[in-house]
Amino acid sequence: MGVTADRAGAAGFVTAVLRPWTPADAGALRAAVAADPDLVRQTGGAELSTDAAAAEHIARHLAPRGPRSYAFAVVLDGRAVGNVGIGAVDDVHATAWMSYWLAAEARGRGLAAAALAGASGWAVRELGTFRLELGHRVNNPASCRVATRAGYPAEGVERAKLRYGDERFDVETHARLATDPAPAVVGLPVR
């Protein structure tokens, strides 16, 4: 079941969009991280156990717009349930680094690929980015599928790139060029 901008889903009419983070998303961010400890890493290891801490994280890391990084809340029926980050924006080479996560409650319906595709189109249009890059641990097949569906072919494996605790992980990198064919997935609109 794929999510596009608007569709009639099993649970009724569903609207998914990308928009900038706001302080009002603090409760949703805190709840998402509380429900999945893996998201602590995705949010930079920050302590987000209170709404105040989540609001501070949004103000410092998610809400600021550029010039080197941007973040979009993935909003499903009015609630922020994920993030797409555009980081390491490099105007010399017209490159950027993409990242994404979803709250556990929002997974399993293709939302991340639609969100990544929407943010990728925005980066090409609004920032003039030519090459968008991302990487996932090789033991994260869902992220690999998200990247591929959003139009990012795999390019290779970087050995032991990431260290989580005592363990190191190989990372597969993917990239999308502005001239690549459009992916089949419909990107979420940016509001």
Ligand X SMILES: CC(C)(COP(=O)(O)OP(=O)(O)OC[C@H]1O[C@@H](n2cnc3c(N)ncnc32)[C@H](O)[C@@H]1OP(=O)(O)O)[C@@H](O)C(=O)NCCC(=O)NCCS
Query: Which two three-digit tokens encode residue 18?
Result: 């990308």
Between 22 and 173, name the residue whose CB sits nearer to ligand X: 173
CB 151 within 8 A of CB 117: yes
Give dist(CA 74, CA 115) in Å, integer: 7
Chain centre to alpha carbon of residue 62: 12
Least distance in angstroms from the C-beta of 59 to ligand X: 22
What single-letter amino acid sits at 177? L
Give dist(CA 156, CA 42) in Å, integer: 22
Least distance in angstroms from the C-beta of 115 to ligand X: 8
Task: Give the list of residues 6+ apart from residue 37 with CB closer than 8 angstroms, or none.
Answer: none
Least distance in angstroms from the C-beta of 92 to ligand X: 25
- CA 103 vs CA 53, 91, 94, 182: distances in Å: 18, 31, 30, 26
From 52-60, 66-74, 94-102, 121-129, span contacting ligand X (CB under 6 A) = 94-102
From 16-24, 46-54, 56-64, 111-119, span contacting ligand X (CB under 6 A) = 111-119
**Interface with ligand X includes 140 (CB under 6 A)?**
yes
Among residues 88, 142, 160, 184, which is the contact residue for ligand X, using CB under 6 A? 142
Query: Which two three-digit tokens encode residue 126?
Result: 């609004």
Q: Which residue is nearest to ligand X (CB)?
A: 112
**Interface with ligand X includes 174 (CB under 6 A)?**
no
Among residues 25, 57, 70, 149, which is the contact residue for ligand X, using CB under 6 A? 149
Quick note: the x/- pattern for ligand X over 5-44, rule CB under 6 A, is ---------------------------------x---x--
For helices 141-149 and 111-122, the axis angle rounded to 10 degrees is 50
Query: Which spans of this chain sit near ligand X (rule: CB under 6 A)?
Result: 38, 42, 100-102, 107-113, 136, 140-143, 145-146, 149
